[in-house]
C-alpha cells in the first residue's frame, strides 16, 4: 500500500534508542521484527499488527536454569507471524513464591510488548480452582489492550470429559467457543483446539500445540503453539484468542 513513512524512536530498558520506519522490517540484536504498521482509527495501540495476519506462532524460550536445576522461572515467549517475523514478545511476571507453591495452577500476569517497547496486551489470570470437580469457580483470563482497558475474557467451561472455553467481549457477551480433544496427549502429534461460533456449528479458527520432538519434549518444558483466526476478525478478539492460548497452555500442558 501507499503508506506514509514515519521514523519513530524505539528502545528497551538499558538499550540505545533505534529509529524505526513504518512498513520496513526491523532488526534488533539479530531478531527480525514485523514492520511497524500504520495507525488505524479506533484500534487499540499496538494491535494494528493483528489486522495484517491470520495466524500467530508462539515459541517458548528455553530457560537453561530450568533444564539444569528444575527450578521454575518466569517464562518468556516469542510471538511470530507466518514469515517468521516477531510480532510481539511476551513475559510472565510472577514472584518466586507463587511459581514454587502453586505450580501450573498459579495466578499470573503476562505482559506482551511490541517492537516499540510498548506493553500493548496484558493477560491477568487470578488464582482459582484447577479441578473440573468444582464447576463454580473455574479458570479465566482477563485480556487488557492497552493495559488497564479490558477488551475481553477467556472463561473455562465445565464439561465431564472435554476441555471447553468461551471467549467473551468486554461486556461478558459470548463471542466464540473453544473445544479440545477428550484426551490431551502431545506424544508424536499435534493437539488441536477448535475455535467455533457460539452455537458451535461453524469452525472459525484453531489453537494448536505443536509436537516438538522427543528430545525437547523430554528434557524441557518449552513448547510451540499456533493460533489461526479469520483475517477480518475483530483485533480485540484476536488479542483475546492469544489469552486463550496461554490459558490452555497453563491448564493442560503444565509449562507456564
- Three-class HEC string of 79-143: EECCCCCEEEEEEECCCHHHHHHHHHHCCEEEEEECCCCCEEEEEEECCCCCCCCCCCCCCEEEE
Residue 174 in domain: no
Residue 187 lies in a domain: no
pLDDT at 101: 57
Average pLDDT over residues 196-210: 94
Entry pTM: 0.80
Give me the percent of the chain exceeding a pLDDT of 70: 66
If you average pLDDT over every residue of the chain, what do you get? 79
pLDDT over threshold 50, residue 220? no
184 vs 207: CA distance, rounded Å: 13
Distance of CA 192 to the CA centre of its chain: 15
pLDDT tens column, 85-131:
999 999 988 755 555 555 556 678 999 999 888 999 999 998 766 55
Nearest C-alpha neighbor of 247 from the set 158, 185, 178, 186: 178
> Would 58 be classed as within a structural domain?
yes
Judge whether 35 lies within some domain: no
Does the pLDDT at position 179 exceed 80? yes
Residue 23 located in a structural domain? no
Number of domains making up the chain:
1
Range of the domain at 119: 48-129+137-156+206-253
- Chain segment 125-143, per-residue pLDDT in tens: 987 665 555 666 788 999 9
Close Cβ partners of 82 (under 8 Å, ≥ 6 residues apart): 53, 55, 57
In a domain, 123, yes or no: yes
Q: Count CA atoms within 13 Å of residue 218 on its CB side.
A: 4
Whether 24 is covered by a domain: the verdict is no
pLDDT value, residue 127: 76
**Range 6-31 average pLDDT:** 52
Q: For residue range 38-61, what is the model confidence (pLDDT) as tens digits? A: 889 999 999 999 999 999 999 988
Amino acid at each position: 500500500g501507499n503508506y506514509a513513512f514515519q521514523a519513530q524512536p524505539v528502545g528497551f530498558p538499558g538499550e540505545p534508542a533505534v529509529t524505526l520506519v513504518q512498513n520496513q522490517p526491523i532488526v534488533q540484536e539479530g531478531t527480525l521484527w514485523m514492520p511497524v504498521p500504520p495507525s488505524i482509527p479506533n484500534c487499540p495501540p499496538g494491535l494494528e499488527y493483528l489486522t495484517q495476519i491470520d495466524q500467530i506462532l508462539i515459541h517458548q524460550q528455553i530457560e537453561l536454569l530450568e533444564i539444569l536445576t528444575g527450578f521454575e522461572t518466569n517464562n518468556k515467549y516469542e510471538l511470530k507471524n507466518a514469515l517468521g517475523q516477531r510480532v510481539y514478545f511476551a513475559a510472565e511476571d510472577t514472584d518466586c513464591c507463587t511459581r514454587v507453591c502453586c505450580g501450573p495452577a498459579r495466578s499470573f500476569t503476562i505482559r506482551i510488548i511490541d517492537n516499540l517497547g510498548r506493553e500493548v496486551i496484558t493477560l491477568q489470570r487470578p488464582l482459582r480452582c484447577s479441578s473440573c470437580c468444582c464447576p463454580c469457580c473455574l479458570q479465566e483470563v482477563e485480556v487488557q489492550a492497552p493495559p488497564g482497558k479490558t477488551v475481553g475474557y477467556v472463561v473455562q467451561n465445565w464439561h465431564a470429559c472435554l476441555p471447553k472455553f468461551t471467549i467473551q467481549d468486554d461486556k461478558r457477551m459470548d463471542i466464540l467457543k473453544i473445544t479440545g480433544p477428550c484426551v490431551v496427549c502431545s506424544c508424536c502429534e499435534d493437539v488441536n483446539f477448535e475455535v467455533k461460533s457460539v452455537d458451535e456449528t461453524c469452525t472459525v479458527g484453531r489453537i494448536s500445540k505443536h509436537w516438538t520432538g522427543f528430545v525437547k519434549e523430554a528434557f524441557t518444558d518449552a513448547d510451540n503453539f499456533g493460533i489461526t483466526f479469520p483475517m477480518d476478525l475483530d483485533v480485540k478478539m484476536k488479542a483475546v484468542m492469544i489469552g486463550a492460548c496461554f490459558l490452555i497452555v497453563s491448564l493442560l500442558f503444565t509449562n507456564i
